[in-house]
Amino acid sequence: MTPPAAFTLDALAGFYTAGGSPVAVAQEALARIEAYADPALFITQVPREELLARAASLPKGPLYGCPFVVKDNIDVAGLPTTSACPDYRYMAGDDAPVVARLLAAGALLLGKVNLDQLAAGLNGTRSPYGTPRNAIRADLIPGGSSSGSATAVAAGIAAFSLGTDTAGSGRVPAAAQNLVGLKPSLGLIPTRGTVPACRSLDCVSIFARSVAEASAVLAVAAGPDTADPYSRAAPPSWRAMEAAPPALRLAVPEAAQLVFDTPEDAALFDGAVARAEAMGATVTRVDIGSLLGVAKRLYDGAWVAERTSAVREMVLQKPGSLHPVTRGILESGLDRKTVDAFDDFHAVAQARLLARRLFASCDALLLPTCPGVPTVATVLAEPVAANSRLGVYTNFVNLCDLAALAIPSGFRADGVPSGVTLVGPAFSDGRLAGIGAAMHAWAGLGAPPAPPPPALAADELALFCIGAHMSGLPLNGQLRGHGGRFLHAASSAPCYRLFDLGNRPGMIRMAEGGASILGEVWAVPAAKLGPFLAEIPPPLGFGRVTLSTGATVLGFVAESEGVAGAPEITTRGGWRAHLASKAG
């Protein structure tokens, strides 16, 4: 059987279901590497015979037979790790935990790919192994530092890839090569076995062609590592993919805080905002000046010294082994003062506080991934200034302990790609994925439709919400605080009446008559249901509610005595429609 033309998880799964062999996929991947003919792409390939032997004996799992590559600052047992610095080279004795998890899930490793040396850069041109060719337009930068990781997926060689992200290295290459770039919450994927850049900020990132596929990889890769001091366990309610909130609230920077390389880049971002509004999102302009300000400290503050500390011996003893631009960055870290570092720490703490306030009133912050994608020649002419410009909207994210998801947003007339990034609080990865999948599909840029909402987990119960706890309404944060996650919109069976109790509705069941009431079904951890109920004031509580489908779930109901004398709003059909009528 001939392997699928597109190495996507769905296409490969279909190929294997029909009887296809991972050996054939491995042979096809080798042929694609040869045809792409870019000597700057791989630093180390898995030898041909070893690759074919691995393909013949893969464990069955959710990533069975999916070819992937890893950035060469992530350890793979038996292969060298160079971090694009030949004198730094060492032979890895063990797989990094993230690699081990992917291999155990059946993924097929092709090799290790190029990067900006020591992961210091956002453009992809700072490697002694050369600059990987941008698979979309050869004169453009591939993006960095995860240059090879993005190129391998964009060129159709790998189904997905691992990069790393400290300042935007998992997002800028995605914009440069029309990919999805998933930068998870800090500590969600272990970074043990990864050459540190800024150890306290580093993330392992994922490149794929669609949000759903990146999230599927994240579901395998995520999880705590007891040997990694920066690893964190996600909340029990965390999922790699959630449904997009039905009343989506997006924040967008004020016009004065938006910078672009060309008017066309600006128009592409405006188009992404307009599409979000057409999807039904409420878009609010916000001041992100504090976030942009703290971003400047990443390369002009304590975190430069943190970068230097990771490779101090090389900086002091073998400076000639380093790329000139990388050496300049790292040597500057030797002179940083501790007293100044505390100014940086306090500034970041203030920015994190402001970020929490921002996300209390929106589901995500929508940003350009970068002002534009420059040519290699432009970056080589201004290696520091051009690189800094690429990080305008990425540098603050890890500093502020935020999650981010980069998705394509179209092309300029000259074929230069563009991307936007969704940013949210720590462990909002699943929510960002739901929003990003919907936006990517809406844009019609080749991504598959958004996947159906995830099912209830064994430790969750469905709760039908009909009032202020629904998405985008004032008490939704209370529901999310107890681990609630949106599943889908729904309506009750036509046997209920609805009343206005002031700041929330009350719903009662009728033996005869009544109407269908619109609401939302949320998943809530069973262990959190009691504490949540304790916060609900009378006359409201939880009871069994019959949905229009005939299913019976828990839901918000009121005592009959508690709604006596309250205005009836049943004919409005739901609380949202009632609020809209009052506002109008």
Q: Where are the domains of the chain?
A: 9-233+375-443, 460-583
Q: Where are the beta strands (DSSP E) in 530-575?
A: 540-546, 552-558
CA dist 468 → 50, 465, 473, 504 (Å) = 58, 8, 5, 6
SS3 of 155-187: the string is: CCCCCEEEEEECCCCCCHHHHHCCCEEEECCCC
Question: What pLDDT score was predicted for residue 561?
Answer: 92
Out of 71, 112, 183, 528, the active site residue is 71
3-state secondary structure (DSSP) of residue 465: strand
Strand partners, 119: none
C-beta of residue 445 within 8 angstroms of C-beta of residue 436: no
Give 9-233+375-443's CATH code, choosing from 3.40.50.1370, 3.90.1300.10, 3.40.50.460, 3.30.1490.100: 3.90.1300.10
Out of 83, 127, 149, 169, the active site residue is 169
C-beta of residue 404 within 8 angstroms of C-beta of residue 163: no
CA dist 421 → 171, 205, 250, 336, 424 (Å) = 8, 14, 12, 32, 10
- Tokens 């057409």 sit on residue: 278
Out of 83, 127, 145, 161, the active site residue is 145
DSSP character for 335? G
Question: What pLDDT score was predicted for residue 444?
Answer: 77
Does the active-site annotation cover 200?
no
Phi/psi of residue 114, each to 5°?
-70, 165
Instruction: For residue 382, count other CB atoms closer than 10 A to its CB.
Output: 12
Question: What pLDDT score was predicted for residue 155?
Answer: 97
Query: What does the alpha-carbon distance between residue 276 and residue 438 come to, in Å, rounded to a whole number?
Result: 9
Does the active-site annotation cover 161?
no
pLDDT by residue (tens digit) across 49-74? 999 999 999 999 999 999 999 999 99
pLDDT by residue (tens digit) across 201-256? 999 999 999 999 999 999 999 999 999 999 999 998 899 999 998 899 999 999 99
DSSP character for 568? B
CA dist 492 → 143, 476, 503, 520, 568 (Å) = 50, 20, 21, 10, 17
Does the active-site annotation cover 71?
yes
Question: What pLDDT score was predicted for residue 456?
Answer: 87
| CATH architecture assignment, domain 460-583 | Roll (3.10)
Please name the helix (run of DSSP H) or strand (run of DSSP E) that holds residue 48, with its range, or none: helix 48-55
Question: What pLDDT score was predicted for residue 550?
Answer: 95
Question: What pLDDT score was predicted for residue 450?
Answer: 47
What is the tally of helices (H) and strands (E) in the chain?
20, 20
Could you list the pLDDT tens digit for every one of the 584 residues in the chain?
A: 899 999 999 999 999 999 999 999 999 999 999 999 999 999 999 999 999 999 999 999 999 999 999 999 999 999 999 999 999 999 999 999 999 999 999 999 999 999 999 999 999 999 999 999 999 999 999 999 999 999 999 999 999 999 999 999 999 999 999 999 999 999 999 999 999 999 999 999 999 999 999 999 999 999 999 999 999 999 988 999 999 988 999 999 999 999 999 999 999 999 999 999 999 999 999 999 999 999 988 888 888 888 888 888 888 888 888 888 888 888 888 888 888 889 999 999 999 999 999 999 999 999 999 999 999 999 999 999 999 999 999 999 999 999 999 999 999 999 999 999 999 999 999 999 999 999 998 877 655 554 555 678 889 999 999 999 999 899 999 999 999 999 999 999 999 999 999 999 999 999 988 999 999 999 999 999 999 999 999 999 999 999 999 999 999 999 999 999 999 999 999 999 999 998 87
Sign of CA dihedral 38, 41, 44, 46: negative
